[in-house]
A and B are shown apart, each in its own frame.
Chain A
Amino acid sequence: MIRVEPDVRFVKDLLKMGGASLKKCFQCATCSVVCPQSPDDNPFPRKEMIWSQWGLKDRLLNDPDIWLCHQCNDCSINCPRGAKPGEVLNAVRNYVFYEYSTPKFIGKLFTSPLYLPIVLAIPLILIFAVLQIPGVLKTPNMEHVIFGSFINDLAIEVAGLTMGAYVIIVALISFYKYWKAIGMSQDLVFEVERGIEGKTEQKVGGFLSELLQALLEIIKHSRFRECTQNNYRYWAHLGAFYGFILLAISTAGAIVYMYGFGIEELALEIYDPVKILGNIGFLFVFVGVSWIIYARLSRSDVTGSPSYQDWFFITDLYLVVITGILMETSRFAGAASIAYPIYLVHLYFVFMLLVYAPYSKFAHLMYRGLAYVWAKKTGRMPELQVQEVQQ
């Protein structure tokens, strides 16, 4: 006998977190067949749809398959009922962010737009508090825009490192909780009707070698390329992804300048390699995110309606790069009265993006990465269909 313990509240939460259509599903399994990402054995997302309807919270939250989904939306487009499995799986992923968050009350803040004022207030208060420390806020140089003359660079570094340490610690705790949870699902044969419990076969590969494989696929976005509908997402996400990496590299470059070369007042010229890298990064993120926002708004019937989590993450990222480029242009234009206030705003959005990384959609990086490794270890990841272009 299989005991089904429906969690009605969980169903209601999913309905609110982006899965509003889940009850329309009548289990025809069109989705599992048209999905380009789904394996042959226990394919998704049909089983996730019935688990969602039944409120089988444990199964869904331990189910790494939800991360093999890249929301190509082939399922939602072909769904005969408008049940939109693509959006329901996105809602489950949003729930995962909450379920495995540490501490959970911060994760809770991202489950509903009702908490947005609190989400916005926390970084504001923290930044305000740091600015109160004597010596942090200085009288800015109004002739040449040098951001270090406005807010002490050291304060930013200390605050940033502290935040970074916090983010890494809570992310590692979530990482561990999730890895344990999906590990438990290895012992389950998913199908309720089958009435037996079996084991998913483990491949020989070790964690590290599979992690390497997974990273390689993430870097190449090979899974995204499998999408047949909405293949714009491959390019848009690729742009945002590499743009973000370039920005991270240029940030590291700036730190090297300051501590490696002892440059105290950092205001790089436009032709400086680090600046060039950063600007290319900006361009990539800006184009990628603009494309995503445009496609999501103009063709939401095909691309899927974004959930609150999607909006929060993408808007914040967008504001980070927009305020960043405004800082740069106002600096080059010598508009000090614009540049300094924008710098503050920019810091606010950057801080918000990073400090909330383990709770917001940003965390998809971590959960999806783990699920990739698990899927590779268990041989659940289907062969790539789209041939890599041979050099």
Chain B
Amino acid sequence: MRDSIPSGSLNGNILVIGGGIAGLSAALEASEAGYDVFVVEKKPYLGGRVAQLYRYFPKLCPPYCGLEILFRRIRTNPKIRYLTMAEVVDVSGEPGAFDVDIRLNPRYVDLEKCTACGECAKVCPVERDNDFNYGMDKTKAIYLPHDLAFPMKYVIDDSVCKKLECAKCVEACDYDAINLNMEAKTIRIKAESIVVATGWKPYDAAKLDNLGFGVYENVITNVMMERLAAFNGPTKGKIVRPSDGKEPKTVAFVQCAGSRDENHLPYCSAICCLASMKQATYLREQIPDSKAYIFYIDIRAPGRLEDFYTKVSQDENIVFVKGKVAKVEEAENGNLVVIAENTLTGEKTRTEVEMVVLATGMQPELFEVKLPIEELKLDDYGFANFESPGIYAAGVAMGPADVASVVEQGTAAALKGIQIAKR
């Protein structure tokens, strides 16, 4: 229910690593069953990747709707305590009695005092790339992670902040909430079981050297497209292309950009087909005379999601082309030419479009950031793949999955976790 150095006992039943949709689901289920839960989140806000989405497939409803409900359940539940800007640095002990050392990185803003009035950001002279919008806009060095951030508190990016040299924000704050001397500290939490829900990050599109990301301005990724369409995104929800801010009338969605590729991610990322179809509807809805091309190897819409594919493919301005885009070239005026072989007709097609969206896949956070948990076994790609009493995984840390599935996985992990815990 609160985020600061927790007062009172640091004994909990269950520790959840990761405050995304899977971790929050696990934490809520366990706490509502009566167990004490700690949620540890690296970022300054909860909600994870879902907070960055504009809409869910297949219902096309806004994810914030569901997140708000989750946050409300957290706020009113005294059994959940969450720590943002927190990282697990050491785990020792055994199932039923783990000691977990957690480093609390300095936020420089007092969570009790900050009212999110924003006076500090007005006077802050330093800018930083806004990672929440995948670098498509800037924030000040003191910033609110996003409009609907939970907790709704400012934070300072200490990699750019000049701190005491500047300190303009300290002056501007009427609530005395900013403390530039704040330092990282480590606390020890006791837990009986641990849920690993560390989630994912988009695969680095710059590694796909044929597809021009980072070279041609109007080649963006699917996660960037979500931010472009989102009302709290860098363009306030207007889909425009980066080079000239023009509405793109033609957009090519490039499927399997890195996924199902031995040279990048050898596995299918599970959600990109549906995400691109969903994003094609954003485009079609917002720009009526637009046209979307979806270049794919296979359309993977399992189970009931097939209906969404059927629905989307009825729009004649959403064109499906069977053939992987293996080359993107720049045309005039910032337009792009995507080259693929349409394997149904046997022709190499060169399609000129105004913007390209790469459907980049999911890479587990654990691929690079290792957790200090010995029992945690990872497969070759960094997904948690293990059976160990007291330690359970949930969400994309286990494998690529959509939101509906990871919520179920979170619930499952909670059920496993509480079996070890003693109420």
Residues of A whose CB lies within 8 Å of any CB of B are 26-34, 38-43, 46-47, 78-82, 189-191, 193-194
Contact = CB atoms under 8 A, between A and B. Distances in A.
A89 to B, nearest CB: 16
Interface in B315-349: 323-327, 339-341, 343-348
B159 interface: no
B261 interface: yes
B346 A27 contact: no
Contacts of A190: 346
A27 B297 contact: yes
A34 B347 contact: no
B341 A193 contact: no
Please report whether the interface of chain B is mostly helix, strand, loop or mixed according to DSSP: loop
Contacts of B210: 34, 78
B245 to A, nearest CB: 31
Given A33-B340, A42-B346, A47-B346, 4 more contacts: A29-B343, A33-B339, A80-B261, A80-B324
A194 B347 CA distance: 11
A29 B261 contact: no
B262 interface: yes
A189 B347 CA distance: 11
Nearest to B326: A33
B297 A33 contact: no
A84 to B, nearest CB: 11
B358 interface: no
Contacts of B263: 78, 80
Nearest to A382: B348
B260 A27 contact: no
Given A29-B326, A29-B343, A40 B348 contact: yes
B93 to A, nearest CB: 43
Given A29-B323, A30-B324, A190-B346, A43 B262 contact: no
Interface of B: 210, 256, 260-264, 297-298, 323-327, 339-341, 343-348, 350
A190 B260 CA distance: 27
Contact of B327 (A34, A41, A193): A34
A94 B275 CA distance: 44
Contacts of A79: 262
* Residue from A27, A41, A82, A194 having most chain B Cβ neighbours under 10 A: A27
A303 B327 CA distance: 21
Contact of A82 (B256, B262, B298, B350): B262
B144 to A, nearest CB: 41
Contact of A28 (B297, B344, B350): B297
A42 B343 CA distance: 9
Nearest to B259: A80
B297 A26 contact: yes
A380 to B, nearest CB: 13
Contact of B326 (A27, A40, A78): A78
Contact of A41 (B324, B340, B343, B346): B346
A193 B342 CA distance: 11
B323 to A, nearest CB: 5
A81 B344 contact: no
Contact of B345 (A26, A78, A191): A191
The residue in B262, B297, B324, B327 that gathers the most chain A C-beta atoms within 10 A of its C-beta is B324
B297 A40 contact: no
7 contacts: A28-B323, A29-B324, A29-B340, A30-B324, A32-B348, A33-B324, A33-B327
A29 B341 contact: yes
B72 to A, nearest CB: 44
Contact of A33 (B262, B264, B345, B348): B348
A41 B345 CA distance: 9
Instruction: With a 10 A CB-CB cut-off, give which of A28, A33, A41, A80 has the most chain B CB atoms.
Output: A28
Contacts of A28: 256, 260, 297, 323-324
A229 to B, nearest CB: 12
